[in-house]
Amino acid sequence: MSLHKIVVVGDDSVGKTSLLYVLNGVTFPDTPYTIFDYQSRQIKVNNIKLEIIFWDTAGHEDYDRLRPLSYPNSSLILILYALNNQNSYTNVINKWLPEISIHAPGVPVILVGTKQDTETNEFDISLEKLTNKFQMRIQKIKVSALMNFNIKQLIQLIGLTILKDEKPKGCF
């Protein structure tokens, strides 16, 4: 079974920690602010077992200098933004994708629009434009950790993306 590190980034309060709890089969949490944490789980995609380690990072700007230390040996990056927060979407383009292009070039990215259960003003994300601008493989999905919406689909997308790019990373 291959081991894969997934780094989860995004602005404060977009639901990173809540999503990771739900992805790991724990009920929706009432969790405080996270500086750094990791959680692991096994998934099975196309009859192949994968061991996934999710690295939950702090989105606050106070940790901008520390967070890049989490990127080495990543198999995948999840960038979360809240569907009800225009600023978190703007930061996908102005902060998160540029940071990843510097510290994790070549690592595939999944944009995860969170809080699908809220009233949303959906933001247009042109994957083609982002892919061309940042020279990355980028996919997207919308989820709700609270309502368990698209969680299985996200797990499947994670697994398929890793399998497509299968090269287990070294020690982390």
Q: What's residue 116's pLDDT?
A: 87
Q: What's residue 30's pLDDT?
A: 67
Q: What's residue 75's pLDDT?
A: 96
* CATH no. for 2-164: 3.40.50.300
User: Distance (Å, rounded) from C-alpha 73 to C-alpha 149?
Assistant: 30
User: Distance (Å, rounded) from C-alpha 29 to C-alpha 44?
Assistant: 25
Edge-to-edge order in the sheet of strand 36-45: 36-45, 48-57, 2-10, 76-82, 109-114, 138-142
pTM of the model: 0.87
Q: What's residue 37's pLDDT?
A: 65
Domain ranges of the chain: 2-164
In a structure prediction context, what are the per-residue pLDDT tens digits for the chain, which is 172 residues long? Answer: 789 999 999 999 899 988 988 888 877 666 555 554 667 789 999 999 999 999 988 777 777 788 889 999 999 999 999 999 989 989 999 999 999 999 999 999 999 999 888 866 666 667 677 777 776 788 899 999 999 899 999 999 999 999 987 655 555 5
